[in-house]
Amino acid sequence: MSDHFPHLFSPIRIGGLTLKNRLVALPAGTSMAVDGVPTHGDTEHVERLAAGGVGLIIGGATVVHPTTTLRSRKLIEAYRVEIIPSTAAKVSAAHRHDALFIGQLCHLGREFIGGESDAPPSAPSAIKTARDAYPPHELSVAEIEDIVEGWRTSTRNLVRAGVDGVELHAAHGYLPAQFMSPLTNRRTDDFGGSFDGRMRFTRMVIEAMRSEMPAGLALGVRLSGEEEIPGGMTIDDCVRIAENVAAGGVDYFSITHGTRGKYVKDSTGADAVAIPSAARVRAATGTPTLVGQRIRDAGVADHAIKTGQVDMVGMARALIADPELPNKSRTGRLDEIRGCLGINQDCRAFDPHLHCAVNAEIGRGRHVDVGRRARATKDVIVIGGGPAGLEAARVAAGRGHRVTVFEKSSALGGSVRVAASAPHRATLIDIVDYLEREMRRLKVEVHLSAEIGEDDLAEIRSASDHIVVATGSRPVDVTPLFRERTAYSVDDVLLGRVAGDAGRVVVFDDGDGFWPAYSAAEALAQRGWEVTVATTLTALASRIPAESAVPLLDRLGDAGVDFQIAHALHVPDDPAAPVTLRPVFGTGDRPYEDAAIVWHQPRVAVSSFGLDAGPTVSVIGDCVTPRRIGHAIAEGYRVGAEL
């Protein structure tokens, strides 16, 4: 047992299993599959998690039947015997590090998680979701029985692969939940109507799974404590369901919140939101209970176990951001943990598989030279203290190079520091705080308020073996046309440079579709401004991750923000004339009298002094062209590893 977080890092017995600790890697699919079969990259991901110190890994959802596959075949197809060898490899990878591995089985039902399928969506009743284009096919009794057999076959395949247990995914509005909920189950036969009828499908699935599981393997059920949709199931329903299935020999429950599109909470949501729901399930059933969902640190996890609310705590994105979080927490190295930002950006894009905005190794693998001391120690100068420059400095210093960072402002972070000033986006600064701590730990020399000019280059060249240029980006300059009006940049808004009383403002997003304009609109709405958001695009917030866009637009709508899509902002030469919104398609200008303007255009690269990348110079991050945090971190990582 660890002196740090002793409750979290104590063993626990679940069914016939003994876990070395109570920290669980929750199911998070990697999309590292070809034709429905896991690849070596998926196995590497499991090994990375196991080596990081978790007690249990629950594999990402694997589907149980051909009626719930995608054309991409990126979901693992557990009903096929071809998955047995690769699943066995994942089990072995976990066992090598004294972790256990449980496979999760799933049928999406009427949900298709953003991908096309050659099979029609299917459900207990033909009730369409708001998320997908087609109403589902209502399953016949014969089709239901065939899908149950798919669960039996899939369990048999996982058992043959050597898993330590199997989990039924009955949460997030997938097929079992669709049967259990009166919102989605309007059947009048034996699979609908009463509570007992709506539970019949789930009980049949559990019986089929248990029939293929030898003694000693654990059977778990994942449930949504709150579905968080109008008319959806609540914690009272969840407790009743848990009590019903517990009698069937369930070894643990895994409790989460939400349905598809709502269960991956972004930084606007409260941390550890599902713990009270899990505590109620545990108290009602007496069954060991696992909780997850936006739990980012060992302190919260340890407290939940210490106070008897839960038995185990799961993390998904936090362990993607830093798989070593368990080992670092257990040994008290909390300052070395790279925190999850909760932005759902790279980890939810699956382009083409799992990546992480702050951990460049996820989806790319560890660079062969990371963790190895460089053959020859170099003097490295990094110009720019944003995420790209700091990541390059971190990796280079970790390999033994002597690194110096020059940052022209009085604080590290670059444009990330501006973005973190937006409402509900404060967690962005976590990556800067982490990298700043790493600079101290690795003894990187950091100079703030130290702007480097072109006349300094000769001296820098003579003092270094390698220069990393990471000078970042800046807002577009205000044009003379705007100087005659009340006009601001997004940076002005987020950094509190908007003076005077609140009034009317048009926030114009010139084809970006990402956070800046929307963050400015939210900040101004919070300060009492009458806000119109306009964009030339034909959709709102189109480049913001779906799990973040919906709550963002809900907040803006609640604040009374007006939205105008497919409109361009026209600014007359006469400063006394009002600005107008002009339709991209059709005619009919709309004037905005006495309105201030926030015109967002993509940031522009800061000069890299005309230095070109070469053997002794690397140019990375936004000064190449402004992009996202993930690009900056990936480029900094690569340069630091290759020095």
List pLDDT tens digits, range 188-213.
999 999 999 999 999 999 999 999 99
- Give me the percent of the chain exceeding a pLDDT of 90: 88
Confidence of residue 37 (pLDDT cuts 50, 70, 90): very high
| Fold held by 12-336 | TIM Barrel (3.20.20)
Domains of the chain: which residue ranges?
12-336, 379-474+606-642, 480-602
Per-residue confidence (pLDDT) for residue 2, from 0 to 100: 66
Per-residue confidence (pLDDT) for residue 361, from 0 to 100: 96
pLDDT at 424 over 80: yes
Q: In the numeric block, which tokens belong to residue 531? A: 């806000």
Per-residue confidence (pLDDT) for residue 295, from 0 to 100: 96
Mean pLDDT of the 513-526 span: 97
Confidence of residue 478 (pLDDT cuts 50, 70, 90): confident
DSSP track, 234-249: -HHHHHHHHHHHHTTT
Number of H helices, E strands in the chain: 19, 31
Superfamily of domain 480-602 in CATH is FAD/NAD(P)-binding domain (3.50.50.60)
Q: Measure the CA–CA gap between 119 and 122, rounded to whole angstroms.
A: 9
Per-residue confidence (pLDDT) for residue 484, from 0 to 100: 80
The residue ranking higher by pLDDT, 499 or 105, is 105
The percent of the chain in helix, strand and coil, each rounded to the nearest 5, is: 35, 20, 50
Mean pLDDT of the 152-172 span: 98
Q: For residues 619 and 611, is the Cβ–Cβ distance under 8 A?
A: yes
Q: Which residues contact 353 (CB under 8 A, 6 or more apart)?
A: 30, 31, 32, 41, 74, 363
Confidence of residue 611 (pLDDT cuts 50, 70, 90): confident
- Give me the percent of the chain exceeding a pLDDT of 70: 100
Q: What is the mean pLDDT of the chain?
A: 95
Residue from 42, 3, 1 nearest 22 by CA:
1
Q: What is the pTM of this model?
A: 0.95
DSSP track, 330-363: HTT-GGG--------SSTTT-SSS---SS-TTTT
Per-residue confidence (pLDDT) for residue 269, from 0 to 100: 82
Per-residue confidence (pLDDT) for residue 500, from 0 to 100: 83
CATH number for 379-474+606-642 (one of 3.40.50.11810, 3.40.50.620, 3.30.565.10, 3.40.50.720): it is 3.40.50.720
Confidence of residue 459 (pLDDT cuts 50, 70, 90): very high
Mean pLDDT of the 400-428 span: 97
Residue 520 in 3-state DSSP?
helix
pLDDT at 481 over 80: no
Per-residue confidence (pLDDT) for residue 305, from 0 to 100: 98
| Alpha carbon separation from 221 to 201, 250, 251, 294, 310 (Å, rounded) | 14, 7, 8, 20, 15
pLDDT at 407 over 80: yes
Q: In the numeric block, which tokens belong to residue 591? A: 């004037």
Burial 435-452 (b: 16+ CB within 10 A, else e): bbbbbeebebebeeebeb
Per-residue confidence (pLDDT) for residue 434, from 0 to 100: 98
- Cα-to-chain-centroid distance, residue 427: 13
Mean pLDDT check: name the lowest of 87-96, 119-128, 266-275.
266-275
Q: Measure the CA–CA gap between 183 and 233, rounded to whole angstroms.
A: 8
Catalytic residue among 79, 174, 252, 434: 174
pLDDT at 108 over 80: yes
Q: In the numeric block, which tokens belong to residue 373? A: 């001391």
Helix axes 387-398, 429-441, angle to 10 degrees: 30
Confidence of residue 1 (pLDDT cuts 50, 70, 90): low
Confidence of residue 362 (pLDDT cuts 50, 70, 90): very high
Q: Measure the CA–CA gap between 41 and 63, rounded to whole angstroms.
A: 19
Return the top range by mean pLDDT from 115-119, 204-208, 474-478, 612-616: 204-208
Whether the domain at 379-474+606-642 and the domain at 480-602 fall into the same CATH topology: no
Mean pLDDT of the 459-476 span: 95
134 is catalytic: no
Per-residue confidence (pLDDT) for residue 209, from 0 to 100: 98
Q: In the numeric block, which tokens belong to residue 139? A: 């399953």
Confidence of residue 446 (pLDDT cuts 50, 70, 90): very high
pLDDT digits (tens, 9 = 90+) for 531-589: 999 999 999 999 999 889 999 999 999 999 999 999 999 999 888 899 999 999 998 99
